[in-house]
Structure 1
Amino acid sequence: MSRGVSGSPIAGLVLGGLRALLLVTAFLVAATASAQEPLAVHYEYQLDDGVGEGQRETLERALGIVAGFLNDTFVVRRPDDESSLLLEPTCMKWRTISYPGGGGSRDECVEYSTACGKARPPPSLFRAREVCDERRVGDCEVVGEGNQGVPGAQLVVYLTAVDGPGCSSGSEVGELASATHCTLSVIDGRPTSGNVNVCPETIRRASEGSDREFYFLVDTLAHEHLHIIGFNSDLYESFVGDDGEPLGEQAVLEPSQLALRTPRVVEAARAHFDCEELSSVPLESEGGSGTAGSHWPHSLVGSRELMAPTVGSGRSVISSLTYALIEDTGWFEVRPGARRVGELDFGKGIGCAVLDRCDAEPNRFFCQPGQAGETACSSDYYGVGVCTGGGVGSTCPSVQTFDNMRCREPSQGEGSLGYDPLKWGQSYGPGSRCLPISSDPAAWQRGNAFAYEIMDIGGGGGCFNVRCDGGGTRVMVSMGGEAEAECPEGGYLEASSLNPRLRQGKIGPCPPPKDICPGLACEEDCGGRGDCAAGGECRCFLGHGGPACALDVPDDFLPPTTVRSQQPEAEAASVSASEAPAAVDSPKVPWMVVAVGSIVVVGIIVIAVVVTMLVRRRRSGRGARDYRRASAASGRRLVSEMAAGPALAAQPAKQEPGLLESKDLDGGVVGVKAHTLLYGSDIRIG
């Protein structure tokens, strides 16, 4: 007795295969619809003739490091288009036309923004828009229909180097750079373009100076990019939730306070400071519109956090607070497993009491009453500095490190201190840490009973070669020789016990091992190019990588960039119907689309092959070995044909230009200022 087709084993196999194929296809299609894109940056250079070729190469090298960091760290939750970014034009002047007899009304734009900070955006980067004659109602034309934007990018940054009254110049320390965001996405209000203006002196120092100056430029540029993408008081009201809808300023800022209350920021602060009672995290409240509200205060994060308002020449770290803020914008996510930049030690585990009042109890992060102006070790023991307010609006004095007494930098201390630190048992480079020097005696002696030198270095701090022993429970010190001795917590160590040439001098009081040893637990002290995190992991600074931060991160990450000189205002401001589209590469095909198409086609062919071979098997009784060989060959041929086939067409623009209000550039420009401090000279803060 024969059975119908629906009851046959072959039919069951086919139906099961189809169901599985449909499920896989549905999953991949859903994934494609919500695919996230890396934060790829496209740069437009608008540099005048004052920036030489060497300076431009230095700037491009630094931008390559920053662009690589952004691409590898953040993904855009709702990318505008996977193939090409077209900016939304911002109308500056609208005209409303009302029709008689209840005929409704119509809005016409008679003037579009032609500036972005100190830059002039090329019209070819924008979506098509309707431009109307201000003198004649209804006289409008569409321009920019052929524009193709920037393939593969999610952010356009215009680079300028315009000098200004606030910029650093020569020995005068002031502004390093500034930034502003310009256009926003109509999908979720995410910034899609902005201007970074780097003061010419900043570029000159980086190109002509040491590696320190170059990486100072890298950190400065990273600081400005984070202002553009979210750490900006002008953007808080535009933060969105998981649904892409604006949260509103009340959900972002604490009422009547300049403090963030977004969930990830609060969670990160509770974990870092060990204070579960925190309900909001304060922002910088002083320093003008370009500083207040757009930085973390020094009293909260110290001077090493990348988003502090003023920075020294030491390397910056990016704390969990800053990562959390960028995620709380609702526009970006931090990639799982993305490498972290440095480790913020300042304030770690400080507790609620000290957060409320910095002098509530003695701690290593803030100077105690009466210590103002005294020389001491920084809270992370990385350098020697002075107790001072430390920056804009800081009411809690902390140690600000002298730029020429950074213990982990090998080039420090040679020639700028007025004495040779090596002769006095001190050391600079990886493995070196600041230790207090007793004020009794105030003067150290070096030599013998018949001839000796005297140096007044007591009562402050010095850089010494340090390691930890006993599982991080003992601090061991050496002074260039084989001799080594323990620096007991709260006790003192005679210099003569380590170096017989030092007749007089004493280190101490010695720091607690729990404070200094965790930072020494990593291989080779991370080469001085990173911080040691929990578990002995080196978290390298921007531009460095590898297990011990010994590798230089490639700086050739920059995507294809259009090179432009500074455009005359009249030329840049002109908007014409005949504007040509930008020269761009062919639109890329999203990988997920190719994957979905390939799987669907392969699945259909495989099912057909299965049916055919099973029918043949039933008829001929042959084994499955030839069937498996034939299926594999068919799959290989299919992949080859798909790879050689024509590219899929890019999707057209999804929306018309929206009514987006232009930000006040005077209030929206945020920047970073330098903080230079040298041993033996006055503090200079720009």
Structure 2
Amino acid sequence: MKQLQHCWWCLVRFPTTANRLFLAALILLALAPVKGYPDSGGGHAAEAHQHEHCNHQHPKAHEVIHGVQLEPLHVIRKRSIDQPLRILLVYDESVYRLDSDKFSLINDTILPDAVRFWEQALMVRQTKEIIRLNRKCESSQVFVKNSLTYCIDSCKPVTLCGEVQVPEDHLDVCRVCNSTGQDCREDPSTSAGIGISNADFVFYVSARQSERCHKGLTVAYAAHCQQEAALDRPIAGHANLCPESISTKPQELQTLLSTVKHEILHALGFSVSLYAFFRDDEGNPRTPRKPDTGKPYLNEKLQIHQWSDQTIRKVVRDNWAVRGGHINRTLDMMVTPRVTKEIRDHFSCQKLEGAELEDQGGEGTALTHWEKRVLENEAMTGTHTQSSAFSRITLALMEDSGWYKANYSMASPLTWGRGL
């Protein structure tokens, strides 16, 4: 059960009738069972849509391929972020095994509508070059020479993006060095594919009833798998749709669409695995980089790159009310500039440090969603709520990544807590 706290001390400091009503609603929310948190491994499709819980599993550092070469940094940084995002969908063969009704729903409605939303909501520095993804190395250690990535001795015969095999046509040549970083060359047994043109992000989609589909009430999950070299923007990702949880009932269409839009955003940037790579408006890293690798430092416990307090800051709330007394509670707050402005404007509280991130639900939910208690029906909280809204706060986070500009006209109104 969520512990109750006056998370916005503005509500307590200014005890208007509206504030008292809002706090009463918080009490009811805290005492009621939270829909969507897993209570069993099964569930019918309709039930899954009513009580869906996001099962985003952020990729560990060694699972993500970095350094995909598009254009030199000095060229990309001069380019304005003013072109609509272009997402290319690539289906795994499992998608074609869906029954005809589910395939038609996914292919003709859900995926096109979800992709179109983000293509209209986000702008990027347009990728003018063909994208050729890097091959996976046999070893986790790589060498970088002249901005190109070299494996030690050999590349893996197959490169995966999540659960999907990346087509050979999408891959660059395998480059290798010996264990001392010498004798670097292109592996003659491989060649560069034709690559991906007219796209800024390639999204590999599968439809497998995987083990993760049975955790909680999972409908879909997604993550990124490769990042480009100059600004670290994710340029490839994967999504898996759980066939047994896909409902074709018309009344559940909007919930399924919201779920897929939510999962796509995890791959585009809203992920604990990507916060450390966020950049400011000039393209400079928000988090310091290691001089030898050019990457942020690794959090050994979480096996992800650790962000700085310019992105997420720990804030201690004194006298946090719990059953039986009060405690000091530490919160994780997203404190990037636009997010901070939007959350302050939303709650009419200019002393808020930032937007609170979820602290419960395990690694699939914590830190990778907004705090449910604070933003309730915002679409990027960890459990689905009816009338979910992709708000200005979420678009602000994507813009604060340094990779996108947001079209705020695409944001939905968020009424929960507004002006309190």
For normalisation by structure 2, the TM-score amounts to 0.65
1:111 corresponds to 2:185: no
Question: Following TM superposition, by how much is the alpha carbon of 1:131 offset from its aligned partner in structure 2, in angstroms?
Answer: 4.5
Cα distance in 1 for residues equivalent to 2:141 and 2:350: 52
Match of 1:246 among 263, 285, 294: 285
Aligned position for 2:115: 67
Are 2:167 and 1:122 equivalent residues in the alignment?
yes
Matches within 5 A, 1:657-672: none
**Equivalents in 2 of 1:234, 1:197: separation in Å?**
18
Equivalent residue number for residue 220 of structure 1? 259
Shift in Å, 1:142 = 4.8
In structure 1, how many angstroms separate the alpha carbons of the residues matched to 2:76 and 2:278? Answer: 25
Residue pair 1:253, 1:259 contacting (<8 A) in 2 also: yes
Match of 1:185 in 2: 228
CA deviations over 1:357-386 (Å, ceiling 9, x no partner): xxxxxxxxxxxxxxxxxxxxxxxxxxxxxx
Q: What is residue 241 of structure 2 aligned with on the other side?
A: 198
Contact 2:81 2:123 (C-alpha < 8 Å) held by counterparts: no
Q: Structure 1 stretches of 5 or more lacking a match?
A: 1-28, 98-105, 351-686
Q: Shift in Å at residue 202 of structure 1?
A: 2.8
Shift of 1:162: 1.8
Following the alignment from structure 1 to structure 2, what is the Cα–Cα distance between the partners of residues 254 and 198?
Answer: 34
> Does structure 2 retain, via aligned residues, the 8 Å contact 1:88–1:186?
no
The answer to whether structure 1 residue 343 and structure 2 residue 413 are counterparts is: yes
Are positions 1:283 and 2:357 aligned together?
yes
Q: What does residue 391 of structure 2 align with?
A: 319
Cα displacement string for residues 460-500 of structure 1 (whole angstroms, at most 9, x for unaligned residues): xxxxxxxxxxxxxxxxxxxxxxxxxxxxxxxxxxxxxxxxx
SS in structure 2 at match of 1:150: coil
Q: Residues 90 and 243 from structure 1, CA distance in 2 versus in 1: closer, same or farther, beyond 3 angstroms?
A: farther
Shift of 1:88: 3.6
Partner of 1:151: 197
8 Å contact from structure 1 (residues 43, 156) kept in 2: yes
Counterpart-to-counterpart distance in 1, 2:77 and 2:267? 28
Tell me, what secondary structure is at the counterpart of 2:258?
helix
The letter for the 2-side match of 1:180 is A
Q: Could you tell me the percent identity over the aligned residues?
A: 28
- Residue 161 (structure 1) aligns with: 207
Instruction: Say whether 1:298 aligns with 2:397.
Output: no
| Offset of residue 39 of structure 1 | 1.1
| Residue-by-residue CA offset, 1:40-96 (whole Å, 9 max, x unaligned) | 11111114264123311211121111111111111113x4x3253332445351678
CA-to-aligned-CA distance 1:244-298 (integer Å, 9 cap, x gap)? 2321122111047422111111100000001100112210001111110001111
Distance 2:76 2:201 in 1: 25
Contact 1:202 1:217 in 2 (8 A): no
- Residues 344/200 of structure 1: CA separation in 2 closer, same or farther (3 Å cut): same
Q: Is the 8 A contact 1:37 1:82 kept in 2?
A: no
Query: Would the alpha carbon gap of residues 219 and 131 (structure 1) be closer, same or farther in structure 2, given more than 3 Å must change?
Result: same
Question: 2 CA distance for matches of 1:213 and 1:96?
Answer: 46
Structure 1 position 176 matched with structure 2 position 222: no
- 8 Å CA contact 1:180–1:196 kept in 2: the answer is yes
2:176–2:187 contact (8 Å) kept in structure 1: yes
Cα drift, residue 147 of structure 1 = 2.2
**Equivalent position SS for 2:399:** helix
Quote the Cα distance in structure 1 between the aligned partners of 2:209 and 2:115.
24
CA deviation profile, 1:207-248 (whole Å, cap 9, x unmatched): 3x12x2222211111000111111101111010112323211
Return the letter of the residue paired with 1:111.
C
C-alpha distance in structure 1 between counterparts of 2:165 and 2:357, whole Å: 32
1:339 is paired with a residue whose SS is: helix
- The aligned residue for residue 103 of structure 2 is 56
Q: How far apart are the structure 2 equivalents of 1:295 and 1:37?
A: 27
Q: 1:177 to 1:147 in 2, by over 3 A?
A: same
Instruction: Give the whole-Å Cα distance in 1 for the aligned partners of 2:406 and 2:362.
Output: 30
Give the structure 1 partner of residue 382 of structure 2: 309
Match of 1:43, SS state, is: strand
User: Is the 1:268–1:321 contact (alpha carbons within 8 Å) kept by the matching residues of 2?
Assistant: yes
**Aligned residue identity for 2:233:** R
CA gap of 1:94–1:334, structure 2 versus 1, over 3 A, is closer
Task: Provide the rounded CA distance (Å) in 2 between the counterparts of 1:267 and 1:260.
Answer: 11
Partner SS state of residue 178, structure 1:
strand
For residues 134-155 of structure 1, give each alpha carbon's deviation from its aligned partner in whole angstroms, at most 9, with x where no partner exists.
9xx9586156654232211111
C-alpha distance in 2 between matches for 1:30 and 1:306: 31
Where do residues 333-412 of structure 1 align in structure 2 (5 Å cutoff)? 333-335=405-407, 339-350=409-420
Letter in 2 for 1:161: A
Amino acid of the residue matched to residue 310 of structure 1? T
Contact 1:240 1:331 in 2 (8 A): yes
Does 2:320 match 1:261?
A: no
Describe the shift of the 1:142–1:184 C-alpha distance in structure 2 as closer, same or farther (beyond 3 A): farther
Query: Which structure has the greater CA radius of gyration?
Result: 1
Give the whole-Å Cα distance in 2 for the aligned partners of 1:269 and 1:232. 19
What is the count of residue pairs matched by the alignment?
Answer: 299
Task: Confirm or deny: 8 A CA contact 2:77 2:282 kept in the other structure.
Answer: no
Structure 1 contact 297–308 (Cα < 8 Å) conserved: yes
8 Å CA contact 1:166, 1:174 repeated in 2: no
> For residues 547-566 of structure 1, what are the structure 2 equivalents within 5 Å?
none
Q: Which residue of 2 aligns with 1:237?
A: 276
Give CA deviations for 1:645-681 in whole Å, capped at 9, x if unaligned: xxxxxxxxxxxxxxxxxxxxxxxxxxxxxxxxxxxxx
Q: Report the Cα offset of residue 109 of structure 1.
A: 4.9
Quote the RMSD (CA, aligned, Å). Answer: 3.0
Query: Which AA in structure 2 matches 1:311?
Result: H
Task: Using CA pairs under 8 Å that are at least 6 residues apart, name the structure with larger relative contact order, 1 or 2.
Answer: 2
Kept in 2: contact 1:89–1:129 (CA 8 A): yes
Distance in 2 (alpha carbons) for counterparts of 1:30 and 1:84: 14
